[in-house]
Amino acid sequence: MAKAVVGESSSSPTKGLCVSENRNDPKVMKYCEIIRKVLMQDQTSCAYKQLQEILRKPIKADSFCGNYNNTDKTAFYYNVIAKIIDTESGGNPETKGDVGKMRNGGSSHGYMQITPGDPYEDCKNITEENVTDPELNIRCGACAALTNVNKHGVLAEDQKGVAAYFGPWRSGRKEKRDIQKSLQEYCIAHPTGTGLDYGVSSGGTGYGSGAEALK
């Protein structure tokens, strides 16, 4: 997916992530709450089902998380989705890409820059009228991202994994280097999922689980 809007640059490696450092940023917290629901609570969502399969298989992700095999993978993918949102739209659910730039001739919309008509499981009911609905948009985008990670066995490489749908994650893109730096530093600082604003560490589904989850 071609990126429409880049979030403002920041020296903070936690920019856009669902971590306690961003607890006072309502823009970030809004989409983090939706990600939590889609990945952790709604067992009917495509993203939830794809994540369960990903957690049971080897995934090539070292360039994004050097400690991947020993990190809290659920928390890591939680922040992969958050970083897609930050990179694609800067956390603005009303962002719209250029008409005609997408592969189907349409335009991309919302948090994850979704294009109506995409074939993924939770994208089939996306229309021009509902594409910017925050939860529907994240359900579709997270489904696309994790379906391709599961299919290709890599987080993002060339046009595989997340990069199959989201252009900024492709090799040679400046944004990819920024994404790698952010997620690598996240993995170093929070290897077991600590610091999350929502209790996704070790399979939690709400506030209060995880060593550093907010009260």
Residues contacting 149, CB < 8 A, separation 6+: 50, 54, 59, 155, 161, 162
pLDDT(122) > 50: yes
Whose structure tokens read 């495509």? 46
Q: Are 89 and 3 in contact (CB under 8 A)?
A: no
What is the reported pLDDT for 144?
98
What is the reported pLDDT for 12?
78
What is the reported pLDDT for 14?
86
pLDDT in tens, 32-51: 999 999 999 999 999 999 99
Q: Is 19 helix (H, G, I), strand (E, B) or coil?
A: strand
Confidence of residue 105 (pLDDT cuts 50, 70, 90): low
What is the reported pLDDT for 6?
38
Confidence of residue 30 (pLDDT cuts 50, 70, 90): very high
45 versus 194: the higher-pLDDT residue is 45
10 versus 179: the higher-pLDDT residue is 179
Q: Look up residue 203 and give its DSSP letter.
A: G
Tokens standing for residue 154: 């890599």
Share of the chain above pLDDT 90, in %: 67
Tokens standing for residue 64: 């994004």
Task: Give the start-to-end residue ranges of the domains of the chain.
Answer: 20-203
pLDDT in tens, 46-69: 999 999 999 999 999 999 999 999
What is the reported pLDDT for 20?
86
Q: Distance of alpha carbon 15 from its chain centroid, rounded?
A: 13
11 versus 26: the higher-pLDDT residue is 26
pLDDT in tens, 62-100: 999 999 999 999 999 999 999 999 999 999 999 987 644
Tokens standing for residue 50: 């794809």
Round the average pLDDT of the chain to a whole number and report it: 84
